[in-house]
Chains A and B, each alone.
Chain A
Amino acid sequence: MTATREAAPQALTRDQSVLTRLRWTASDAAVVTGRNLRHFVRQPQLLLFSTVQPVMFVLLFAFVFDGAIDVPTDDYLQYLLPGIFVQSVAFRAGQTAVGLAEDLDRGVIDRFRTLPMARSAVLAGRTFADLIRNLSIVVLMAGVGLLIGFRFEAGPAMALAAILVVSVFGYALSWVFAYVGLRAKGAEAAQSAGFVVMFPLVFASSVFVPISSMPPWLATFAGASPITHAADAARALSLGTGPALAPTLLSLASTAAVLAVFVPLSVRAYRRAR
């Protein structure tokens, strides 16, 4: 009895300290997120081009490939737009690598590491800021899509779900590129690495064309790609042409798998970085 009585207050303090630590971790991550969001606004050129680029992709693909590609939907724009959401977060994910590599190069990460802040906050703040940016870019693209005739056939709630599925997938990709950024030698290397990896992966998926139109070996590869899963889920949720639950769960599962691999890898790389 005495032993339990003595142990109880100790356990309580430890719980409190865990709570306090959690609170500070959240606070640190919020501070770093705020700092990274400020960065977006302070680089007007980057902000402009990173906004124009996805809009340009929407317009180019919608008008150039309209009629040239056989898709299950009536017009190509309906097929394309949910795919372009995914393409856009996939291409943007490279910015996570660039941002981290720049912070490393400039010694900002070193300052962070001398502070008594949570070790995880730098990565959490970086990826969370990128999530917010992804979300706003997808919303913007949806707006442009609506202007040129796209319709969310399954209604606004499903449209929101589509945007969230794509954003969460983009969040997982940010962790992939956090790893790339921490391991690459410099920001430029990180940027090219991102492009070289993402470009073929995005085209070898159902983002622009149905995988049924691909040669069998490529279709097999594309069918297993988390990018295809995300595009299929976004499409099912946006268009309502078929069951949406299965593709959504599949995409969330492959997103979770990407996170399960790359969060620990990135955290370890951060601990060891330079």
Chain B
Amino acid sequence: MSHAVEVRDLRKAYGSTIALDGVDLDVPAGSVIGLLGPNGAGKTTLVRILTTLLRPDAGHARILGLDVATQAGQLRPLIGLAGQSASVDELLTARENLRMVGRLYHLSSRVAERRADALITRFELDEAADRPVKGFSGGMRRRLDLAASLVNEPPVLFLDEPTTGLDPRSRLTLWAAIEDLVEEGTTLLLTTQYLEEADHLADRIVVIDRGQVIAQGTGDALKERVGGQVVDVRVADLAAVEHARSVLSALTHEPPASEGAVLSLATDDGVATLVRAAQKLEAAEIEVTDLAVRRPSLDEVFLTLTAHDDEEPAR
């Protein structure tokens, strides 16, 4: 089987709100797909349908050849879900949580116990293993959550915004754990609001907005479509914004966008653009309070991608 996950024209509405508006998606076995989109894009709805928590209104989805709506019972032992949608039990200890999940996967109590112990060690939860989850930090909780989704060693794993709300260090730890899984051959579909996360973990990024897939490709391909970097220029005097815009417009293809006193220049070479912008501004005697190079934000990715789609309606 070439595709572990196969989604065709999937639709779901809550009353008059359309959550999924005809989604097609293929996830090759053993690959990692990053589902990128803002809040309300339909990411969680898609994950909930794929993990048998919701029934689609129309279209179909197959995982390992099993239909998520009609063969849910056969499918459940083969999938794992972690992240925002599923949660661990606050009042149980980490070990008790993992054992309980193991028992509910119908493992014998000895196997469930062994599996729990192994996962605790693997996710570095040994010290806290016998304390109630209530007192866990956000990062520990997410690691336990991920561990719980792996109890049955599922070939297909869904992670719904696995690092939302985590501090950078916990995020890196979790990323490392996810990378290990991928190396072992698990097929992974993860949703995220962070381009960086999708870029770091996924082989292919699928951008979803308003219930539709609006773009897909490798992280590099998507970034090229957006323009590699952005130079932000903050001018000291709000009245000087237009002057600055005309001075800087020669540096990039597109005229600089502005919001308040900040002008943003999309460019392929951030540092060179920054240096030239500084020179031009100085020559024009425009006072600048801040000058920085950054990656395009998710907003800019979306703006560019949707604008691009409008230009090429035949697709």
Fill in one digit per residue for B53-96: 1 if any A CB lies within 8 Å of its CB, else 0: 10000000000000000000100110111001111111110001
- Among A34, A38, A43, A116, the residue within 8 A (CB) of B77 is A116
Given contacts A39-B91, A42-B91, are A114 and B86 in contact (CB under 8 A)? yes
CB distance from A104 to the nearest CB of B (A): 10
Leading 10 A-B pairs by shortest Cβ distance:
A107-B87, A111-B86, A116-B76, A42-B91, A117-B104, A31-B103, A116-B77, A115-B104, A114-B81, A110-B86
Q: Residue-by-residue, is A24-41 near B (CB-CB < 8 Å gives 1, otherwise 0)?
A: 100110010011001100
Given known A-B contacts A111-B101, A113-B52, A24 and B87 have beta carbons under 8 A apart: no
Q: Is the CB of B101 within 8 A of A115?
A: yes
B255 within 8 A of A: no
At the interface, is chain A mostly helix, strand, loop or mixed?
helix
B-to-A contact residues, CB < 8 Å: 51-53, 73, 76-77, 79-81, 84-92, 96, 100-101, 103-106, 132, 148
Q: A residues within 8 A CB of B104?
A: 28, 31, 112, 115-117, 121
Q: How many residues of A contact B (CB 8 A)?
A: 22
A24 close to B100 (CB less than 8 A): no
A108 touches B89 (CB 8 A): yes
**A107 lies within 8 A of B100 (CB):** no
Cβ contact within 8 Å between B106 and A38: no
27 pairs, CB–CB < 8 Å, chain A vs chain B: A27-B103, A31-B104, A35-B96, A38-B91, A43-B91, A106-B87, A107-B84, A107-B87, A108-B87, A108-B88, A108-B89, A110-B81, A110-B85, A111-B87, A111-B101, A111-B148, A113-B53, A114-B52, A114-B53, A114-B76, A114-B79, A114-B86, A115-B76, A115-B104, A115-B105, A116-B73, A121-B104
Which B residues are in CB contact (< 8 Å) with A121?
Answer: 104
Contact between chains at A38 and B96 (CB < 8 Å): yes
A126–chain B nearest beta-carbon distance, Å: 13
Q: How far is the CB of B156 from chain A (nearest CB, A)?
A: 12
Q: Which residues of A contact B88 (CB under 8 A)?
A: 108, 111
Please pick, from B79, B84, B89, the residue contacting A35 in the complex, using a CB distance under 8 A.
Answer: B89
Q: Name the interface residues of A94-126: CB closer than 8 Å to any CB of B.
A: 106-108, 110-117, 121
Could you tell me if A27 and B89 are in contact, using CB atoms closer than 8 angstroms? no
Chain A stretch 1-60: residues in CB contact (< 8 A) with chain B: 24, 27-28, 31, 34-35, 38-39, 42-43
